[in-house]
Amino acid sequence: MLDSNSETLRRVLKADWHLASFDSTCWSAQVSNAFNGLQISAMFKQKMLRATQVPTQEFICDLRFKHLKVWREADFSCPRAVNKKAVTYHKWCGSSESGPKGSPFSIPSYLYKDLDKHVLRNFSRFRLRAHHLRVEFCKLHGGSSICDQRECGEVQDEKHVLFFCKCAEVCELRMRYRDLCEGMLKTLRVFAPSSSEFIPFLTCHHSITDFEINAFLNQGSYRLLKFVSDLVSILDTG
Ligand SMILES: [Zn+2]
């Protein structure tokens, strides 16, 4: 609009700028308010009100910084302490190379794979916490977030069902995908009767870091995607 050769348009714009000081519904006031929350919002507002060009690159960088606030806050949060989807996604599921930590955002690589739709859907549901695990299910339907398997006794979240849950079906699944899981579960092997025996779960005495969970879920292999999809299917049936 600033570069327009229309005298009428420039007059309309100028009138709208005058209106902005006492009418919050006019176009200029709404654009000015849209700058709120940016680091250098005052400068952008000044430029707009003086009818000078807003520096596009600075605006884009500032806007991106603002949008990434949710991930900066998640950096200092623990998924189990705050129970927020964004924190869980950031710490356990998001790709450290191209996900929310990166800038600009790029599409996760698994979405480019030629996958069965059911696998694709289930894996996405797991990453975005759109599943039937107790940690999410109890928010909508009430009840406890503790795993209903008698021997478990901890919150049924992604970390629990991936490595700690003692549900027979989940353990059998880990046995079928032993090549994927034994690296994460190997700490228990020293307690196994023989070095070749595989125990398909961890106990409360073991710990897995957020970084290890993230690396496990971002392997990108088809077997990992299939493993998670099968896990979601088991949990869907309760
Ligand atoms: Zn369990």
Q: How close is the Cα of 52 to the center of ligand 1, in Å?
A: 61
Query: Given 39, 67, 95, which residue is the final one in a domain?
Result: 67
Q: What share of the chain in percent tops pLDDT 70?
A: 90
Report helix, strand or coil for 157.
coil
Q: How close is the Cα of 105 to the center of ligand 1, in Å?
A: 34
pLDDT band at residue 118 under the 50/70/90 scheme: very high
Q: Domain check: are 74 and 61 in the same one?
A: no
pLDDT band at residue 98 under the 50/70/90 scheme: very low
Q: Domain check: are 46 and 146 in the same one?
A: no
What pTM, to 2 d.p., does this model score?
Answer: 0.79
Q: How close is the Cα of 229 to the center of ligand 1, in Å?
A: 17
Give, in order, the Cα–Cα distances in Å from 36 to each of 29, 42, 74, 144. Answer: 11, 8, 22, 40
Q: Are 156 and 147 in contact (CB under 8 A)?
A: yes
Give, in order, the Cα–Cα distances in Å from 214 to each of 11, 107, 158, 204, 219. Answer: 56, 17, 11, 20, 9
- Domain count within the chain: 2
Neighbours of ion ligand 1 (CB under 5 A): 147, 149, 152, 165
Q: How close is the Cα of 151 to the center of ligand 1, in Å?
A: 7
Q: Domain check: are 52 and 78 in the same one?
A: no
The pLDDT value recorded for residue 193 is 58
Q: Are 190 and 154 in contact (CB under 8 A)?
A: no
Mean pLDDT for the stretch of residues 36-59:
88
The answer to the question of residue 1 being in a domain is no
What is the domain extent for residue 152? 70-236
The answer to the question of residue 79 being in a domain is yes
Tokens 């992604």, residue?
Answer: 158
CA pseudo-torsion sign 220, 85, 202, 236: negative
More confident residue, 62 or 103: 62
